[in-house]
Chains A and B, each alone.
Chain A
Amino acid sequence: MADCKNCKTIKEHTNVIYEDSVCIATLPDKGATLGHIKVFPKQHSHMLEQFNDEIAVQLLSVATQASMAVFEAVGAQGTNIIINNGISSDREHVTINIIPRKSADGLDFMWKGKQSSQDDLEKVKEKLTAHTQFLGYQAAKDPRAKQQQAPEVRTKDLPDEDEADEDDFMIRQLDRIP
């Protein structure tokens, strides 16, 4: 935390353009280009996932507005919003980078994709949907969800059986009374 650039910026309050109780937006002296804004949470956490939904929404909403504001302010032709979540120079403290873009600005974030076969993609899909099925909408349609419910039904029977045994035992006891 002592070495963290973001925490230091929060403490010294340098170049702050917006602040609330959970996050802060700054216009650093040095950036990828003029107008590079950084939005980050006040809490020193290294991953976006460590924040709850509400705070994640707040962070990204602030970032969205900041991107619109800087777009107007510098007369940009586009904007990039980049979060290097848990990696690179931002690995210690979540940082949302907002970079206004103009043609021939010397920046290029594009990539060359790899062509993937349908089989490979299908395997990836299966791995991911095993987890995403629990995120809501898809769960109701997924047949695997019903199977998981089945065992619960069986366990409900067991206590009843125990009770039946007890009853028999009590009745048998009564028989022994002279």
Chain B
Amino acid sequence: MAEQKLDQREILEQQKSQCPFCKIIKGDIPSKKIYEDDKLLAILDINPVKEGHILLMPKEHYPIMPLIPQETLDKLFMMTRRLAEIVRLVFERSGTTIFVANGGVAGQQSAHFMLHIIPRDDGDGIDNFDINEGLSHPDKHKELFEVLLNNLPELLRERYAKYPLKDNAGNPLSLSRREKRFSKSQVFGIIDNNPQIKELIMKEPEQFVMSIEKSPQLKQLFSGLNVHEIVKEINPKYKKRDIVQAEFKEEVAEPDEAMPIEKPKENPKGKKKPAKGQPAKEKEQPVKEPAPVREAPTRVDLDLISRMF
């Protein structure tokens, strides 16, 4: 193993000694330098695609991107942003193409890693950077999606920590919780496969929506999605309500009144409302109807959702 490493180092040293860009950086070969600092160098491409085509590279010789240390990469990206702006403004173009080639197959022409920044306009006759997005591989796509979903967030754990997603209270959500998220169409599929949930949405959509808040599994199912839109699509009769503090039972009993009426005497609308001093009696009447349905969400929580996941 040690021998192999030595070989690699030797190879790298050989590469460096023959690398024209390392020579440019040292000053052995002349170049048109545009920007320079302790870690990076930007020069003009002598065979530009267009006037203003620049090459931005780390001064240190890295054949490919994965070998570049994070600190240098951060600086590289910061300068990319700034140089792209300068290049665009100086040549009065609508935009820029930022191009990276890792590997000969991808078009990497030199063993010294670099980034191309090219001022561009729509219709400027440069079409090699156009990306045609027509290909699809439905069978392989799903498999690849699962692999990436498992691997990428883990690779990005440190970067995620800088800009974590947050819940409603502003608390950062952990990365692992973020991995399981469903698209709208997936949620429709799950609901179709679970007739009990669908029945609940059809019969008591408002109850279903409320039960989501109480169930962590349902919450995760709908996380990041507009619950009201989804429920409405399944059951067009569903009406979104502001159910801030209202008693659950009263809502079902008196759907026209958003908030419980405090003084029955003042009653402008209330025809049916009994005196407030007897809340127990009020609740007794409407409770009978929703009682069996109210139990349904909890049954759904425990059995169905665990099977879904």
Q: Enumerate chain A interface residues (CB-CB to B < 8 A).
A: 12-23, 25, 27-37, 47-49, 51, 53-54, 56-62, 64-74, 76-89, 91, 97, 99, 101-103, 105, 108-111, 113-116, 120-122, 124-125, 127-132, 135-138
Contacts and interface: CB of A to CB of B under 8 A. Distances in A.
Contacts of A76: 103, 105
Interface of B: 32-38, 42, 44-54, 65-66, 70, 73-74, 77-91, 94-108, 120-122, 126, 128-138, 140-141, 144-145, 147-149, 151-153, 155-156, 159-160, 162-166, 178, 181-185, 224-225
A78 B81 contact: no
Contacts, number: 289
Contacts of A138: 35-37
B97 A82 contact: yes
A18 B153 contact: yes
B148 A17 contact: yes
A122 B32 CA distance: 7
Contacts of B90: 127-128, 130-131
B137 A34 contact: yes
Q: Label chain A's interface by main secondary structure.
A: mixed
B102 A79 contact: yes
B105 A103 contact: yes
B103 A101 contact: yes
B81 A125 contact: no
B86 A128 contact: yes
Contacts of A13: 181-184, 224-225
B233 to A, nearest CB: 13
Contacts of A60: 73, 77, 80
Contact of B128 (A56, A83, A89, A111): A111
B70 to A, nearest CB: 8
Nearest to A17: B148
Contact of B97 (A33, A71, A85): A85
A132 B91 CA distance: 14
B37 A20 contact: no
Contacts of A61: 70, 73-74, 77, 156, 159
Given A69-B155, A113-B47, A132-B35, A86 B106 contact: no
A37 to B, nearest CB: 8
27 contacts: A17-B148, A17-B153, A18-B153, A19-B178, A20-B160, A20-B162, A27-B145, A27-B148, A31-B135, A62-B159, A68-B66, A71-B102, A72-B151, A76-B105, A77-B105, A78-B103, A80-B102, A80-B106, A81-B100, A82-B131, A84-B120, A84-B130, A89-B133, A114-B50, A115-B47, A124-B32, A127-B90
B159 A82 contact: no
Contacts of B149: 17
Nearest to A70: B148
A73 B144 contact: yes
Most-contacted residue by chain A among B81, B83, B90 (CB, 10 A): B81
Closest 7 CB pairs of A and B: A78-B103, A86-B95, A113-B47, A78-B106, A87-B95, A137-B37, A81-B100
A83 B130 CA distance: 10
Contacts of B97: 82-85, 87
A15 B146 CA distance: 10
Given A60-B77, A69-B152, A125-B32, A132 B99 contact: no
Given A27-B141, A137-B38, A87 B178 contact: no
Nearest to A37: B148
A91 B93 CA distance: 13
A19 B288 CA distance: 45
Nearest to A38: B133
Nearest to A60: B77
Contact of A109 (B99, B140, B164): B99
Contacts of B49: 111, 113-114
A18 B147 CA distance: 12
Contacts of A70: 144, 148
A102 B80 CA distance: 27
Given A20-B160, A35-B144, A65 B155 contact: yes
